[in-house]
Structure 1
């Protein structure tokens, strides 16, 4: 199991936890919209670090983005397995062809 899969499992396990004892539970208790907002904030911070060129800061912000993406997905009951299945479905397809098919 990868670190990403372990993180997704931890997030799933925290869905029913007390929001006062878990940051993840607190985010999830605020609803999917708040989780999406937090994901957006973290994404912007990662973009800023990518533009600045600070590799260490970008790495840290990218980790935050992945965490908040998984929280947002969990808030809408989308699993990492669902995302992996979609990536596998797209594998071998040109990005240009995939976008044209939408």
Structure 2
């Protein structure tokens, strides 16, 4: 399931050096990490709205935008998707209550 996310992360990484005029991803990255984070937040809010309204089709579309913009934000900060996936694997099988208590 994560193969598509890994391909997305690789594409985003490849776009870092692209001309912002020819690549939406390059244009986002050129605006810096703060703008990438802002855009991620906007997309997350849109997904929340669709979830609350119960519109599965629009939620699916917005969730894809959230994953894309999350991956762009990670790239802008130099955080590898593999590191995030490794953290999820580390947490797998742990109670959320125990995880929060360990912080």
Give the TM-score band, short-chain normalised. Answer: over 0.9
Shift of 1:93: 1.2
Shift of 1:46: 0.1
Which aligned pairs between 1:50-89 and structure 2 lie closer than 5 A?
A: 50-89=51-90
Which aligned pairs between 1:1-102 and structure 2 lie closer than 5 A?
A: 2-102=3-103
Aligned residue pairs, count: 102
Alpha-carbon separation, structure 2, partners of 1:16 and 1:62: 26
CA RMSD of aligned residues (A): 0.9
Alpha-carbon separation, structure 2, partners of 1:25 and 1:71: 9
Shift of 1:32: 0.3
Task: Output the TM-score relative to the length of structure 2.
Answer: 0.96
Shift of 1:31: 0.4
Report Cα offsets for 1:15-61 as digits up to 9, x if no partner: 11110010000000000000000000000000000011111000000
Shift of 1:92: 1.7
Task: State the 4+ residue runs in structure 1 displaced beyond 6 angstroms.
Answer: none
- Match of 1:16, SS state, is coil
Worse-matched range after superposition: 2-11 or 58-67: 2-11
Task: Output the TM-score relative to the length of structure 1.
Answer: 0.97
Alpha-carbon separation, structure 2, partners of 1:19 and 1:65: 21
